[in-house]
Amino acid sequence: MNIIWNKSSEQFHLYNDRISYIIGVAPCGELSNLYFGKRIHDRDDFTYVMFRMGMPNIVVDADTESYSMELNRQEYPSFGTTDFGTQAFEVETSNGSRISSFVYKDHRIYKGKHGITGLPATYAEDDEAMTLEVDLEDEVAKMSITLFYTVFEDYPVIARHASFTNTGSERAKITKALSGCLDLPDPDYEWIQFSGAWARERIPKVRKLSDGITSIESKRGVSSANQNPFVIVKRPNTDEFTGEAIGFSFVYSGNFIAMAEGNSYKRLRILMGINPDRFSWPLDAGQTFETPEVVIAMTDRGLNDLSRTYHRLYNNNLIRGKWKNEPRPILNNNWEATFMNFTEEDILKIAAKAKEAGVELFVLDDGWFGDRNDDYAGLGDWKENPEKLPQGMAGLSRKINAMGLKFGFWIEPEMVNPDSNLYRRHPDWVLSVPGRKSSLGRHQLVLDFSREEVVDHIYGMLHKVISSSSISYIKWDMNRSLTEVYSLEAAAEDQGTIYHRYVLGVYRLYSKLIEAFPDILFESCSSGGNRFDAGMLYFAPQAWCSDNTDAIDRIRIQYGSSYGYPIVSIGAHVSAVPNQQTGRTVSISTRANVAYFGTFGYELDLNKLPEEDFLEVKKQIEFMKKYRRLIQFGDFYRLRSPFETDQCAWMTVSPDRKQAIVGMYCLRSNVNTLPGFLKLAGLDENTLYRMEGREYYGDELMNMGITLDLFYKNGFTVSEDYSSFVAVIEAV
């Protein structure tokens, strides 16, 4: 990895073994993108890739030899001079002008990577990455912009963000500040987004790109289940194993926009950042605003390779603390077993059976605090309900620990029910517009986390419960979108900052809790997967993937999630049948065969299982304990798509390629068909492997494939709905 500055041509070349990213100062002084793709040799000058043509209707800069921004690729484009595309940022000066021209001023190149104040970001040691900071200045606007680029040694990745500083003496306003822009020289790409809704999150949807705009966004205050802040552009012939693709992953948990725009000259512009709708940020003299980070990954080896890049980068350089690269505890959560209707005795019975099965961690979900017996009351009152927990969290955690289980509990710190002591005492602490009704979501209002005192107060309450007990895990939930976003404390001109300040408040509370309790494993949750994003992973190393725990639906949800997020971050549990969300009945083995490919746990009362299922659960837990490092941290391959076929298959391979596990699932039976073949991947061609009592060479498994009737004896048959198998492959 290196970053070269070629002074005579004023060009930067960032590269590692797999990629080159080349930027130059254009004749107009702004930065132009010259290349991003597979690694190429360095040269003194790549200016020849800039177009200089005076064509009718194109506005050119007369002083700079017919250079038009519209015809060239920009690095951080503005609007208002010679580019008519969508701009990456917009600054409004005190005289009302929104025209800007930020020209190259200075730069710094250094080893490693700095953090971003108050925001999550990838991190790197000095030998893992190099960073370039380029300062741009607009003398008229009296503002400077610094663009940050990090190239990693081990990943085909560029991480980007920007910062704005008011260098003048008057207040200015930023009305748009995206994190990055990538202009590509041709538009022959398809766009993959991960869309859905509650209980059907992150479903891949593919669109062909063309002239004009393709875009997704969130305006819900959370990254959202509707559109995930991760997109891929790929060549039309790129598949899981071959071809070019570029991923854009936003390390942020609030409103966002991701956009592709093809212009009339074959330029394809990709933009990602905080959604400019409802955003504005006043900047007084000397103040700085920093954007979140966007992680741009590139592959010429297909989508599986792109996903593995994100899996590895996020496991090694985003997730932090004790749980970084640590296999996750097998847990039992009581939510679907009891909902809010439980006594301590009920909980202890469920926990005792969980312990008997081999579970390691018991999680008490919603309903333990305040007057929380249904979802109409109690949120905000983070004090144990003595009727449910007579000796408080301290007493319950002691009893659970005495069984030999770790203990954790559920919180939803950003919310308040109108029927709560917190709301009665502080009705002005919610997001609401004076004189207007505030919309309820699950009978709750959103606390104004843009205010420090609100965050500090919630922290105080939570700190008390956590520090009085023995807590190893916390599930942090968030169950509604933000509406009527207005802070009763902020001035009129600051109201455009509130969505972002809210997210900063969430991150601040996470940071304070992590600092106070560094060993706690946090699992983020937002009505399931409503806030499953790279920003959250910096604080909570795993995320409850969906409230839909039906194994068959989960195959699709987990398959979609695997494109951008590590397997170890995907919260997945076995739940009861008929499934509470879908009414579907699926065998205990298929339920586990799906949940293995995630954090793994149980979301039910094991006392209620038939004896033979309980015996099976014991075996499942033994299996997961033995193979969880391989499954959670191995090289993951999607083999067969449940979106294109009635089957699904995926596998994970150990880094030394001596061990692998394959999962195969039948979503819908097909009568009178042959079982067919499944080609495996990622193995060593010359190694002899054993699977299900037979031996095969790696090349045989990967090129010829296995015939699926081999697994009939394990209960898998392509002619039976919801059958599945998981097989271990080991080098002989």
545 to 584, contacts with ligand DGJ by CB under 6 A? 547
20, 146, 227, 479: which one binds ligand DGJ (CB under 6 A): 479
Q: How many CA atoms lie within 13 A of 648 on its CB side?
A: 27
498 to 537, contacts with ligand DGJ by CB under 6 A? 525, 527-528
Q: What phi, psi does 47 have (nearest 5°)?
A: -60, -25
477, 523, 553, 605: which one binds ligand DGJ (CB under 6 A): 477
Is 168 or 378 the residue whose CB approaches ligand DGJ more closely? 378
Is 3 or 474 the residue whose CB approaches ligand DGJ more closely? 474
Closest distance between ligand DGJ and the C-beta of residue 526, in Å? Answer: 7
Question: Which of 547, 553, 605, 635 is labelled catalytic?
Answer: 547
Closest distance between ligand DGJ and the C-beta of residue 595, in Å? Answer: 14
For 276, the 3-state DSSP assignment is coil
**DSSP assignment string, 19-86:** EEEEEEE-TTSSEEEEEEEE-----S--GGGS-B---TT---BGGGTTB-GGGS-BSS--SSSS--S-
CB contact burial 408-426 (16+ within 10 A = b; e otherwise):
bbbbbbbbbbbbbebbeeb
| 606 to 141, 485, 617, 625: CA distances (angstroms) | 65, 43, 9, 18
Residue 126 a catalytic site member: no
Determine if 137 is a binding residue for ligand DGJ (CB under 6 A). Answer: no
62 to 101, contacts with ligand DGJ by CB under 6 A? none
The residue of the chain with the least Cβ separation from ligand DGJ equals: 366
Q: How far apart are CA 638 and CA 409, in angstroms?
A: 33
Q: What phi, psi does 551 have (nearest 5°)?
A: -60, -35
Residue 547 a catalytic site member: yes
191, 314, 409, 410: which one binds ligand DGJ (CB under 6 A): 410
Return the amino acid letter for 691.
M
Is 409 or 539 the residue whose CB approaches ligand DGJ more closely? 409
Q: How far apart are CA 224 and CA 218, in angstroms?
A: 6
Beta strand 172-184 pairing with 281-283 = antiparallel
Closest distance between ligand DGJ and the C-beta of residue 410, in Å? Answer: 6
Determine if 304 is a binding residue for ligand DGJ (CB under 6 A). Answer: no
Q: How far apart are CA 393 and CA 369, in angstroms?
A: 10
473, 544, 597, 696: which one binds ligand DGJ (CB under 6 A): 544
293, 366, 384, 448: which one binds ligand DGJ (CB under 6 A): 366
Is 137 or 365 the residue whose CB approaches ligand DGJ more closely? 365
Closest distance between ligand DGJ and the C-beta of residue 545, in Å? Answer: 10
Closest distance between ligand DGJ and the C-beta of residue 335, in Å? Answer: 5
Question: Which of 365, 366, 381, 477 is labelled catalytic?
Answer: 477
- Helices 452-468 and 392-402: crossing angle in degrees, nearest 10, is 40
Determine if 335 is a binding residue for ligand DGJ (CB under 6 A). Answer: yes
Is 160 or 372 the residue whose CB approaches ligand DGJ more closely? 372
Closest distance between ligand DGJ and the C-beta of residue 417, in Å? Answer: 12
Task: Outline where 185-331 has alpha helix (H).
Answer: 303-317
Beta strand 288-290 pairing with 157-166 = antiparallel
Residue numbers of the site for ligand DGJ (CB under 6 A)?
335, 365-366, 410, 477, 479, 525, 527-528, 544, 547
Q: Which residues are catalytic?
A: 477, 547
